[in-house]
């Protein structure tokens, strides 16, 4: 991987982030997480302007919902709260939140429902992404401020585990919610949520066997992964499939996967060799190729979370 070319690409995206034709409002916080995380993993975070990034992130805190929004003036949402926290973690700036840490927990807990967490209290959408974002946000707050009361109670964790396992389908995959089609990204969200709660060993063995079976079927003849049966390979699945495989200690054809990923680089990375590069696929390809330096569940540099549990 050409590190300099990758950085040049993400810096180009960063410089254009305020162009409404290139970065939609709802993508701003997620894009900032991907840009800073990738630059950090490459060892080039100091080449991005730190203070403007911090100012933007904090300007997106919504006091009404006690969550972060995707852009200044937007409504708070759990996805962008998680993105904001990972960005602050990457910049070693989580202390900025010391006066609102418990407010953030309150905002997140207000999203709880029977089967997990809503994304917000406007649309009341249900999705396993929101569960992972909520647990991930609380996990960051708990570990950084060394305060277990910022995390879920034991009974809440047990409830979430039960709710997530209800999203497991007969094929071993997980849907976005109960009864929905299996997808590797939803499996990733479910398994990472359970891992952050420290409850992987509480998943029944017969359930774990079904999950393993679904995962090992995702690698295609090209070396790349797909997310569902009969779908094309895509480099973003180095994350959605690769992280669960690593969590479970399952073997797969890593050299073939690496060749496929590298064949998709042209400055940044694309989903497949014949397509244009984009920030989303660049971010996940870099995390995979630099995985010895990465904490893959949170998508940040590993040394930033050393000693966390």
**Domain 3-300, classified CATH 1.50.10.20, yes or no:** yes
pLDDT digits (tens, 9 = 90+) for 156-212: 999 999 999 999 999 999 999 999 999 999 999 999 999 999 999 999 999 999 999
Give the pTM: 0.96
The phi, psi pair for 214, rounded to 5°, reads -65, -45
Q: How confident is the model at residue 18 (pLDDT cuts 50, 70, 90)?
A: low
Higher pLDDT, 18 or 250: 250
What is the reported pLDDT for 85?
A: 99
Predicted confidence at residue 48, as pLDDT, reads: 97
The neighbouring-strand residues paired with 225 are 219
Burial class (CB in 10 A: 0-12, 13-18, 19+), 309: exposed
Give the model's confidence band at 26: pLDDT under 50 very low, under 70 low, under 90 confident, else very high.
confident
> What average pLDDT does the segment 283-289 reach?
97
Tens-digit pLDDT profile for residues 297-308: 999 999 999 989
Torsion sign, CA atoms 17, 9, 50, 33: positive
pLDDT at 21 over 70: no
* Contacting residues for 73 by C-beta, under 8 A, at least 6 apart: none
- Sequence spans of domains, the chain: 3-300
Q: In this predicted model, what pLDDT tens digit does every residue of 87-142 receive, in sequence order?
A: 999 999 999 999 999 999 999 999 999 888 999 888 888 899 999 999 999 999 99
* pLDDT at residue 24, as a whole number: 74
Q: What mean pLDDT value characterizes the chain?
A: 95
pLDDT of 22 reads 56
The span from the CA of 53 to the CA of 50, in Å, is 5
pLDDT at 19 over 80: no
């Amino acid at each position: 991987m050409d590190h300099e070319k990758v950085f040049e690409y993400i810096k180009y995206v960063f410089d254009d982030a305020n162009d409404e034709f290139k970065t939609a409002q709802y993508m701003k916080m997620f894009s900032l997480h991907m840009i800073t995380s990738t630059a950090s993993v490459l060892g080039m975070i100091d080449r991005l302007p730190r203070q403007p990034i911090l100012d933007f992130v904090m300007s997106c805190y919504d006091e009404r919902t006690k969550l972060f929004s995707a852009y200044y003036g937007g409504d708070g949402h759990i996805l962008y709260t998680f993105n904001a926290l990972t960005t602050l973690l990457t910049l070693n700036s989580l202390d900025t939140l010391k006066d609102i840490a418990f407010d953030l927990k309150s905002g997140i807990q207000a999203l709880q429902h029977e089967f997990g967490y809503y994304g917000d209290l406007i649309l009341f959408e249900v999705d396993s992404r929101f569960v992972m974002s909520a647990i991930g946000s609380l996990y960051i707050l708990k570990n950084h401020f060394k305060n277990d009361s910022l995390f879920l109670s034991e009974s809440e964790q047990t409830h979430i585990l039960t709710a997530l396992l209800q999203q497991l389908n007969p094929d071993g995959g997980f849907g976005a919610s109960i009864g929905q089609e299996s997808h590797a990204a939803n499996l990733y969200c479910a398994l990472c949520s359970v891992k952050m709660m420290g409850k992987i060993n509480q998943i029944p063995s017969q359930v774990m066997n079904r999950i393993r079976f679904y995962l090992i079927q995702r690698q295609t003849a090209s070396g790349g992964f797909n997310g569902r049966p009969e779908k094309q390979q895509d480099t973003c699945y180095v994350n959605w499939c690769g992280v669960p495989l690593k969590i479970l200690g399952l073997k797969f054809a890593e050299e073939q996967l690496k060749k496929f990923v590298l064949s998709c680089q042209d400055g940044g990375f694309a989903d497949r060799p014949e397509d244009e590069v984009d920030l989303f696929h660049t971010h996940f390809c870099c995390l995979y190729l630099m995985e010895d330096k990465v904490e893959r569940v949170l998508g940040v540099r590993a040394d930033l979370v050393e000693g966390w549990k």
